[in-house]
Structure 1
């Protein structure tokens, strides 16, 4: 991990490290040369982060003064990145109490600076006119600024990055609805900001001059209505142009239920998001640039932020790189601890069987799949799918395979391509037939706790737009025949090969 050693690193505490921003901030602080301690109610949730072995993790809660005091010992900069997203009656009091405890303990511990990420509030709107969550965020910011510790409060509107609740709501609404009847808040002007720019401002704030204690607005270069954001998302994602109609009578409560129905974003989370969209949230100053260096190419535009959020969903959601990575991917990438509904839809058909054959025999069957050997399931269905693909301008099944027994990364295999191969363990194929989305077929060999060979098969599909959703649900009734039969027949073929191997008697 490369570090910036031009100046001595600071000791930073990050609260909310299990959240969207916190989980992405920690590796950025580490790369900048700082030492990082995390305070989390559920430390186990941080185990799968690529940076887990590079940061100190303490269990505790920001509403418990004792655990906050212990976490702040020896800390130079304290990042306060917690905020309740519940809709219960007491969430404002909980946020208020937690902020006061944190402010008091930071002052007692001699912390040099508090850094907080808050919500951008509209100019000229009194606090009692704000949504409950924006009002609470404004109050928390005020408590931290009044703590007696120099504080930097960054105020952002919609953060664009895979895993951000605001971005995921935008993603699903746009992808799933070619024609949208929407609430009036789609006409609200918003200044979205890329997550990488937010993280850059947070990291840079650690070294802000000690006499600075104030709020800063952070936003990207584009000011758009929510409707414009949906239309531009569709363009970047390669979707047909969307039709967006607004209805003024859809209240925030109805809007949240509508979002919960159309998208996997929970209604309890959608409500504070939609309530906040009633207000115009546009930056009124860009003073942060006086103290924190921005990206060399300037602030990230909306279209580029969306591209960054979409570009690696395939690798992050399908591959296993997170389990062995030592450094994080780009800030816009999904993380293993993001909610299950984040990162776009990924449909998954899994099959697992015990195989009466040694792992080597099973692997030989897997590596020999396709071409003249076929796909071990419903040959007519595969032939028809190949013909339909050729009629649609695709490659069909005519490519066969390069070698009858062996595969390597990049090989074409009928209408698939070998994306990854670990000899004896894993074969992952990426579909190259014409599809309204991205598809993979993954086959694994392992040995179970009982010593028996196990075969695991996964068919994955990442749909593009409503057509992709319709495609998956139209073919899913046949998966038991096609993919279920494939798994069973591969297991039988491996058992047959093992039984007929030299030195072994055929199975009875």
Structure 2
């Protein structure tokens, strides 16, 4: 099958490429800078590169007419003024381009976001736009993704560099259901032209439900090979927490701000329908962290 991949330079997109190639698919990657992509990806000579910026419709090369399915994995934009409008514009330009092909399915990935902050509302708008495409839509919503190079791992690494760790009380109690990166890839690949997933939305998550404090303790045990001490404080402002995360970890302030907002709430799956449609051997938190140690 011929597959179009957007977000090929992103964390998940870069890891999806070898999985699709291993299954014998022909992969076309939509990238802004082919030379940069060639420097960053060892698979550049195994895929077709299509030049274009989804924020600039006139920059888009014509997509191959015989595309079978497409992944919309465009990274969320930083929460700055006007970002929601730019995300909507990107999705609109994508739909306009993909409707000129024979694409039968669009697969999108985002986070479970029950509290619907600014970023969550913007993502819902993007999903509404994607649903207007001629192709069937499959939306996967994940919990916290844990794997080498993931934002979650950078967060755990940064917070456990020094001891004790001081975190807000609501962070410590927030329930998480982390999913291994490899399992996210399994689900993305498993949805491909699977008619049972057409025009549907699914939650994807790992098998463990733990508090964020337990995640920190488990990370210390598996990756630091020492007991991590966690101290909680009753009140820490969101702004202070964001600056603190930005200082301790490689995470940008905009991403840190989003993380702080998300860590105020439980992030667990409420729907396991996908597990019946696409059977996957899910990794536990310890198993996912062991691969990163």
Aligned to 2:163: 178
Aligned to 1:487: none
Aligned to 1:306: 289
Aligned to 1:481: none
**Matches of 1:211 and 1:194, distance apart in 2:** 21
Contact kept? 2:31, 2:52, Cα under 8 Å: yes
Do residues 65 (structure 1) and 50 (structure 2) align? no
1:290 is aligned, of 273, 276, 284, to 276
Aligned to 1:261: 247
Query: What whole-Å deviation, never above 9, does each CA across 1:12-36 have from its counterpart, x for those lacking one?
Result: 0111111111111111100011000
Aligned to 2:80: 88
Aligned to 1:107: 99
Aligned to 1:452: none
**Superposed structure 1 runs of 4+ greater than 6 Å apart:** none
Query: What whole-Å deviation, never above 9, does each CA across 1:473-505 have from its counterpart, x for those lacking one?
Result: xxxxxxxxxxxxxxxxxxxxxxxxxxxxxxxxx
Aligned to 1:119: 111
**Matches of 1:110 and 1:14, distance apart in 2:** 15
1:46 is aligned, of 5, 13, 37, to 37
Cα distance change of structure 1 residues 30 and 165 upon mapping to structure 2, 3 Å threshold = same
3-state SS in 2 of match to 1:71? coil
Query: What whole-Å deviation, never above 9, does each CA across 1:371-426 have from its counterpart, x for those lacking one?
Result: xxxxxxxxxxxxxxxxxxxxxxxxxxxxxxxxxxxxxxxxxxxxxxxxxxxxxxxx
Do residues 274 (structure 1) and 260 (structure 2) align? yes
Contact kept? 1:117, 1:155, Cα under 8 Å: yes
RMSD of aligned C-alpha atoms? Answer: 1.8
| Structure 1 residue 237 displacement after superposition | 1.4
Aligned to 1:19: 10
3-state SS in 2 of match to 1:109? coil
| Structure 1 residue 37 displacement after superposition | 0.5
Contact kept? 1:72, 1:111, Cα under 8 Å: no
Query: What whole-Å deviation, never above 9, does each CA across 1:309-330 have from its counterpart, x for those lacking one?
Result: 22xxxxxxxxxxxxxxxxxxxx
**Matches of 1:249 and 1:42, distance apart in 2:** 44
Cα distance change of structure 1 residues 55 and 214 upon mapping to structure 2, 3 Å threshold = same
Query: What whole-Å deviation, never above 9, does each CA across 1:125-178 have from its counterpart, x for those lacking one?
Result: 4xxxx222222223222322343421111101211111111221122212x122
**Matches of 1:186 and 1:290, distance apart in 2:** 32
Q: In structure 2, list runs of 5 or more residues that go unmatched.
A: none
Larger Rg: 1
| Structure 1 residue 68 displacement after superposition | 4.8
Cα distance change of structure 1 residues 211 and 116 upon mapping to structure 2, 3 Å threshold = closer
2:70 is aligned, of 50, 65, 78, to 78
Cα distance change of structure 1 residues 287 and 67 upon mapping to structure 2, 3 Å threshold = farther
3-state SS in 1 of match to 2:292? helix
Query: What whole-Å deviation, never above 9, does each CA across 1:289-316 have from its counterpart, x for those lacking one?
Result: 233231xxx2111000011122xxxxxx
Q: Report the TM-score when normalising by structure 2.
A: 0.93
Q: In structure 1, list runs of 5 or more residues that go unmatched.
A: 1-9, 311-508
**Matches of 2:150 and 2:197, distance apart in 1:** 32
2:120 is aligned, of 134, 137, 148, to 134
Greater relative contact order (Cα 8 A, min sep 6): structure 1 or 2?
2
Q: Report the TM-score when normalising by structure 1.
A: 0.55
Contact kept? 1:16, 1:82, Cα under 8 Å: yes
